[in-house]
Amino acid sequence: MDYVRLKGLLSSADSGERHSPTPNTNKVNINISAIPSKSHLHRLLICAALSDKPTFIKCAHKAHEGADIKTTINCLLALGAQIERANGGYKIAPIDRANLPDKSILPCAESGSTLRFMLPIVCALGISCELQMSGRLPERPMKHLEDELIRGGIHLWRPQANVLCCEGKLGTGEFHLPGNISSQYISGMLMALPLLDERNSLHVSEPIESEGYIDMTLEVLRAFGEVPQKSRTLYETGDARGFRSPEIITAEGDWSNAAFWLAAGALSNGNVRLSGLNLESTQGDKAICDILAQMGAIISWDDDFVCVSHGQLRGIEIDASNIPDLVPILALVASVSVGETLIYNASRLRLKESDRLVSTCSVLNTLGAKITEEADGLRIEGVPHLTGGVVDSHSDHRIAMMAGIASLVSMGDITVNGSGAVDKSYPGFWEEELLTRTREV
């Protein structure tokens, strides 16, 4: 069955009336290797498939290939790329742009990144496509990106709610996108513009949210020979030079998924040590270290190791505008921290795999937290410990992982129904050592 049951690690002696509880088992001293960044790998795979010669992407971790990455791979295969899983990574033979398919079907499944990246790319290539969606993906915002592509000469229509069709070839010139809806719009256009015949410009209106993901796109473009010029909110790129393969490139470790283990270190009485993370990364979720430190956790690092251990946790105010994916796990940490935590500027979470403001609040309250949902965030009153219970993942990978880590601060057992949701980004999550200690099989 699609569920896991986890033992609550707190004893009655640990509960008391204090916060920042201490597990009743031996100290949790765990070394974990961060899985490759889903965000980075999406971009590397796409740019490699559009390059002038083969590329090898180093990507060794056993749990790297979640459903979203498989989705991007399937779309690139449909366009004619050849992608082979090899020891330690991927071999990519690029799309033959002289022999593009006249029409293609792209199975975007539930991946917002895949849809928003591939749509402008196929429009720039001039391929007629049917982009198929599932889950909540058809409900996620696309209007501003679609409107700009239509303005650039593309014919778009939806024959049914979960299918988006496109015809035509994107023209050249100036493009305009909002910065406060989705950074994926901007990243998709930045990867598409170098495929056009002339230099083009992209104007992005302020405020710009999740700008770190745009910086990641620019970094990958530079690695593949494109040097976009950036001036505040203006990007200039695309002079028909095309992508040039670096031949070998490495996928970064994923800060978004590492955040669950780093938070586990803050909640345990030992420490959790993560390897494979780039401390200079442009990934916005690298902010997890600063936020946990502000909440009272003890953070240290050496080379590519980050270590987090328990401290006296306290509530703070958290602006989620640039770190929406961290909200579920930060809400868990806040739920057993002294005082009140306010998470705000998080309204975009309503359009993720679940409405994450609703699902985070529902799951943690079921487990014994005290959380109030607000229009654009969460207000959390810290309690000494969680009590356990049966919860549903809401078919959301980050909600499932949050519930799993909650066992560290729970008096009672926790059952997570829909536990397979983690396969979207982290298929090996439940097999990591920290959770095999508590998981009933």
Cite the active site residues.
325
Within 8 A by CB and 6+ apart from 105, the residues are 78, 129, 130, 132
Within 8 A by CB and 6+ apart from 232, the residues are none
Distance of CA 121 to the CA centre of its chain: 21
Distance CA 343, CA 335 (A): 12
Three-state SS for 356? helix
Alpha helices in 18-57 (DSSP H): 38-49
Is the separation of the CB atoms in 284 and 213 below 8 Å? yes
Distance CA 150, CA 167 (A): 10
Structure tokens at 231: 């001036």
Q: How many CB atoms lie within 10 A of CB 105?
A: 13
Structure tokens at 104: 């293609």
Structure tokens at 352: 């993720």
Distance CA 272, CA 79 (A): 42
Scored b (16 or more CB within 10 A) or e, 214-237 reads bbbbbebbebbbbebeeeeeebbb
Distance CA 72, CA 216 (A): 17
Is the separation of the CB atoms in 343 and 331 below 8 Å? yes
76-83 contact pairs (CB < 8 A, 24+): 76/45, 76/46, 76/49, 78/104, 78/105, 78/106, 78/107, 79/49, 79/104, 79/106, 79/122, 79/125, 79/127, 81/49, 83/45, 83/49
Distance CA 4, CA 419 (A): 6
Distance of CA 131 to the CA centre of its chain: 21
